[in-house]
Amino acid sequence: MLSPKTEAELADMVSAASTPLRVVGGGTRAIGRVGTGETLSTGGLSGIELYEPGALTLVAKAGTPLAEVEAVLASEGQGLPFEPPNMAHVLGRTGETTIGGVVAANASGPSRFQAGACRASLIGVRYVDGSGTVVKNGGRDMKNVTGYDHVKLMAGSWGTLGVLSEVSFKVLPKLISATGAVGGLGVAAARDAMTKATTSPYDVTGAAYVPGEAVYLRVEGLQASVAYRVQDLQSLIGGEINVINDPEGSSALWTRLRDVEDFATDTTALWRVSMKPSDMVDAFLTQDVMPIPFDYGGGLAWVRVASDVHSDVIAFHETLQALCALNNRGHATLFKAPDAVLAQVSTFQPEAQGVAKLSQELRAKFDPRGILNPGLMGA
């Protein structure tokens, strides 16, 4: 395994590569078919290079553990607005989640519908492209940010456009939170309750539904404001809301939902589906699937099927992606499945013809030799 300790070493390794490279951070959120070629890990590129709490900015090398970044921010009462999930448990991985891996996957938590995804907080990157050239884009502070194009492209590119060496973020203060739980709702009623809450003036920062459990609605801010808004949500939605006022209890609940902890020991295939809440419920009420937990106010669903027969999983996968492709409704990503299944299907939602052509041209520019995670995205 290649494990550079400096950006210069990383550039030399990529430049000298004559076979494909399987680019990973900590390896805790890698999905899809296992690529061929030598593994290139950015875990050796570690350390926080700049943190200015007053300026709300942080710069870290790509291999810095996410836990280290979050601990440093927490010491100043701050955090990453997009609440990056840790998917190691649900994917059965070991090792440390890295901040570069978070960016490469554009990994975002429950606040995404309100605060934006990871790429919304990313203000600068340094990376090595497929030819071994070091590229800098964006800035280290919010007053000097230019060239958002590469910054946005790198977030969610899964290492197919370049190997990240440094990332810069805007950060925000952590606020007091409380969570209201509304029980006894079916899927359609839960969707309606989340829609009412997220479109209300009460600044809801989390809205999720666990079938057979409750709809959970989170508000954050100053203590008096939080208490007032939770109470008003009860009048808006109707019915009784049980309130979790304990900040630690509320935080633990959203960590569980964010990291899909309920599926940590589940061995069935798992899909991550993104779709408009108005389409999501209608799409799945007629599908033969297990009870579906929703996040992002109904815009994100974690979907499983009862069967573990490979042919059944592949058939459902094709049905699911076709459903999402219908009128460009959304995206279905096969998050977890046996290797034999992953080898036969497209992990990510197939792109429309025009978008696929644009993606191919971008990869050809950033990685002209086609050595960075080849075959992971696209057909």
Mean pLDDT confidence for 187-204: 92
**Quick one: 39 and 116 in the same domain?**
yes
**The pLDDT value given to residue 378:** 67
**Quick one: 99 and 17 in the same domain?**
yes
Identify the band that residue 76 occupies on the pLDDT scale cut at 50, 70 and 90: very high
The CATH number of the domain holding residue 241 is 3.30.70.920
Mean pLDDT confidence for 330-337: 92
**Could you tell me the strand order of the sheet in which 294-295 lies?**
242-244, 176-182, 214-221, 204-210, 294-295, 300-304, 270-275, 330-336
**Quick one: 68 and 199 in the same domain?**
no
- Is pTM, for the whole model, over 0.85? yes
Identify the band that residue 146 occupies on the pLDDT scale cut at 50, 70 and 90: low
Structure tokens at 182: 């509304």
84 or 147, which is more confident = 84
**Quick one: 159 and 180 in the same domain?**
no
**The pLDDT value given to residue 289:** 67
| Average confidence score pLDDT of the chain | 90
**The pLDDT value given to residue 285:** 59
Examine residue 192 and state whether it is found in any structural domain, yes or no: yes
Examine residue 371 and state whether it is found in any structural domain, yes or no: no
Given 155, 173, 191, which residue is the final one in a domain?
173
**Quick one: 169 and 180 in the same domain?**
no
Examine residue 2 and state whether it is found in any structural domain, yes or no: no
What are the tens digits of pLDDT across the range 276-304?
A: 888 887 776 555 667 789 999 999 999 98
How does DSSP classify residue 98? B
Residue 148 has pLDDT above 50, yes or no: no
**Quick one: 143 and 14 in the same domain?**
yes
Examine residue 368 and state whether it is found in any structural domain, yes or no: no
Examine residue 205 and state whether it is found in any structural domain, yes or no: yes
**Quick one: 285 and 215 in the same domain?**
no
For residues 26 and 48, give the distance between their C-alpha atoms in angstroms, rounded to a whole number: 16
Backbone CA torsion sign across 300, 230, 182, 279: negative
**Quick one: 272 and 240 in the same domain?**
no
**Quick one: 12 and 99 in the same domain?**
yes
**Quick one: 238 and 273 in the same domain?**
no
Given 201, 231, 258, which residue is the final one in a domain?
258
Query: Domain span at residue 201?
Result: 176-258
Residue 143 has pLDDT above 90, yes or no: no
Given 138, 158, 173, which residue is the final one in a domain?
173
**Quick one: 73 and 62 in the same domain?**
yes
For residues 286 and 15, give the distance between their C-alpha atoms in angstroms, rounded to a whole number: 51
Residue 142 has pLDDT above 60, yes or no: no
Mean pLDDT confidence for 332-349: 91
Residue 227 has pLDDT above 50, yes or no: yes
% the chain with pLDDT above 70: 95
Domain count, the chain: 3
